[in-house]
Structure 1
Amino acid sequence: MTAAEAFILGIIQGLTEFLPVSSSGHLVIFQHLFGIHEGITFDVVVHLGTLVAVFIAFWDDIVFILRKPFSRISYLILIGIIPAGLAGYLLAPLVEQAFESLLVVGLGLIFTGVVLKYSEWMSERYLGLKQSEETSFKDALFIGCLQALAIIPGISRSGSTIAAGLMAGLDREFVARFSFLLSIPVILGAGVFELKDAIASTDFALELSNYIIGFITSAVFGYLAIKLVVGLVKKGKLSIFSYYCWAVALLTLGAYFIF
């Protein structure tokens, strides 16, 4: 992998991890188009970069949770990550097969676009006002179940959780914060899961500079993506990504059936 490829992959990971367009889906597309496989170690590094981005963007919330681990929002996050944890553990072999299929990615992107559009339509008609204290454990579980679907390439984690929160009647600003706080254990868990494979792998041959480039670019562009998404959610404009998802899905499915 060249430094330029590390830079591009870092940007893709940083942006798509938090924009509601599916990072895993774009990774599959990128690999099919250019035949670049970044290796498990590099994947761990860029995931760490995106994790740093969340910590920087939501440092005050994280400090609050650490100081008050038995607060309402702590329990909501705990409940919200259970479905994703179970899905990741039980369905890992099937997910690995899905990462080879452009068909799965295309269908997943269509689903993401529909969910984004529908949730925005719902929130325009039934204004959500729930903050953490008004959010029920049932709401958190519902959000967690949609997050669990994001193990399928093409289905966006951030898009699914934000959409679920809007459908559950959560306040726009709170649902954006909750979605990204919910991503911390998921990204951390994915990184730890991949770390054991990285340690056993032989792909440490990349130059240290490439890892640094990937880490920095994923962190910087991840932070920018977070700020963009939060702003769009507050304005009720997140569904603009529906059209992007559908356009990419059309191209992806076309490539699958034609080639």
Structure 2
Amino acid sequence: MGIFETVVLAILQGITEFLPISSSAHLILPSQVFGWPDQGLAFDVAVHFGTLLAVVWYFRNELQRMIVGWVTTGFTSAPNEDGRLSWLVAIATVPAVIVGLLGQDYIEANLRSTLVIAITTIVFGIVLGVSDRCKPHRGSLTEMTVALALAIGMAQALALIPGTSRSGITMTAALFLGFHRLDAARFSFLLSVPLILAAAGLKVVELLQVAEGVDWFHLLLGMAVSGISAWAGIHYFLQLVDKLGMLPFVIYRLLLGVLLLLFFV
């Protein structure tokens, strides 16, 4: 894989990891359009770590407060807001972990087709649009309960189906539950930390088992580019979403899904 391919794939992974537009839908396009070979497991590990570093760095102050709050008050009868938020993120992560452990093999074998990705890109794009318009969004994360966190977590488990978009489906669920757009996005991004960490860890285990050759230059380049593009994606999304809402992303998903159906199915 050359430098150009490395940069393009890393940018796609970085940006689409956090925008509600489905990373899997985008990552199939280079191979379909240009005939690029699979980037390999080592590259997947690198770009996942890049996106993980981006979200951790962007929310470093909040994550630090959450860790301190969880350690100091999380195991008391009255945890502070930061400790409580840490527990809610942990609880919301559980459904996706369970579904991933039980259903990943089936999903890999049966649901990774271009047709499935195109359909889910369209369907969940429409659902995202409905959620953004269905009710006033005024709730903040201080109003998050265990039940609401679990509901968002169960929605997140659907993101194991390619084309759904992890960030898209968690924001959709939070919007349906009445949370403000920025709080829906913020909770979605915080939820990404344990899941990306777990996914990257599993890929490292797989990588050690297959003993794949390591091209350190391309891996480090991919990690850096994915990290920078992911940071930019988070930053500008949070700036734009409160002003524009989800409609631009809904339209984009519909166009992308139709493009996949017309030309690549």
TM-score tier, shorter chain, comes to over 0.9
Q: Does residue 128 of structure 2 align to residue 119 of structure 1?
A: no
Where does residue 154 of structure 1 map in the other structure? 163
- Rounded Cα–Cα distance in structure 2 between residues aligned with 1:239 and 1:51: 27
1:112 CA displacement: 2.4
1:94 CA displacement: 1.8
1:98–1:11 Cα change, 3 Å: farther
1:99 CA displacement: 5.8
Where does residue 221 of structure 1 map in the other structure? 229
- Rounded Cα–Cα distance in structure 1 between residues aligned with 2:220 and 2:88: 34
Query: 235, 238, 241: which one pairs with 1:233?
Result: 241
1:172 CA displacement: 2.5
Which has the higher mean CA deviation after the structures are superposed, 138-147 or 39-48?
138-147
Query: 73, 77, 85: which one pairs with 1:73?
Result: 85
- Rounded Cα–Cα distance in structure 2 between residues aligned with 1:80 and 1:30: 33
Q: Deviations over 1:149-208 (max 9, x none)?
A: 1111111111111111111111232222111000001111111111111112243242x2
Q: Which amino acid aligns with 2:46?
A: V
Give the TM-score, by structure 2 length: 0.90
- Rounded Cα–Cα distance in structure 2 between residues aligned with 1:11 and 1:105: 20
Query: 169, 182, 189: which one pairs with 2:178?
Result: 169
Structure 1 runs not aligned, ≥5 long: none
Q: RMSD of the alignment, in Å?
A: 1.5
How many residue pairs match? The answer is 253
| Contact in 2 for aligned 1:120/1:236 (Cα 8 Å) | no
Q: Deviations over 1:109-167 (max 9, x none)?
A: 01221122111112xxx323322331121111111111111111111111111111111
- Rounded Cα–Cα distance in structure 2 between residues aligned with 1:180 and 1:233: 14
- Rounded Cα–Cα distance in structure 2 between residues aligned with 1:209 and 1:238: 37
1:32 CA displacement: 2.9
Where does residue 220 of structure 2 map in the other structure? 212
- Rounded Cα–Cα distance in structure 2 between residues aligned with 1:87 and 1:198: 22
| Contact in 1 for aligned 2:42/2:214 (Cα 8 Å) | no
Q: Does residue 61 of structure 2 align to residue 53 of structure 1?
A: no
Give the TM-score, by structure 1 length: 0.92
Where does residue 62 of structure 1 map in the other structure? 63
- Rounded Cα–Cα distance in structure 2 between residues aligned with 1:87 and 1:199: 24
1:100 CA displacement: 4.0
Q: List structure 1 segments (4+ residues) > 3 angstroms apart after TM superposition.
A: none
- Rounded Cα–Cα distance in structure 1 between residues aligned with 2:213 and 2:238: 36
Q: Which amino acid aligns with 1:120?
A: D
1:222 CA displacement: 0.2
- Rounded Cα–Cα distance in structure 1 between residues aligned with 2:123 and 2:92: 21
Where does residue 252 of structure 2 map in the other structure? 244
* Secondary structure, counterpart of 2:137 in structure 1: coil
- Rounded Cα–Cα distance in structure 1 between residues aligned with 2:212 and 2:63: 33
Which has the higher mean CA deviation after the structures are superposed, 61-70 or 246-255?
246-255
Q: Does residue 212 of structure 2 align to residue 203 of structure 1?
A: yes
1:100–1:137 Cα change, 3 Å: closer
1:239 CA displacement: 2.3
- Rounded Cα–Cα distance in structure 2 between residues aligned with 1:229 and 1:97: 33
Q: Which amino acid aligns with 1:85?
A: V
1:80–1:102 Cα change, 3 Å: same
| Contact in 2 for aligned 1:6/1:210 (Cα 8 Å) | yes
- Rounded Cα–Cα distance in structure 2 between residues aligned with 1:137 and 1:106: 33
Q: Which amino acid aligns with 2:5?
A: E
1:175–1:35 Cα change, 3 Å: same
- Rounded Cα–Cα distance in structure 1 between residues aligned with 2:227 and 2:3: 16
Where does residue 193 of structure 2 map in the other structure? 184
* Secondary structure, counterpart of 2:178 in structure 1: coil
| Contact in 2 for aligned 1:76/1:137 (Cα 8 Å) | yes
Which has the higher mean CA deviation after the structures are superposed, 214-223 or 232-241?
232-241
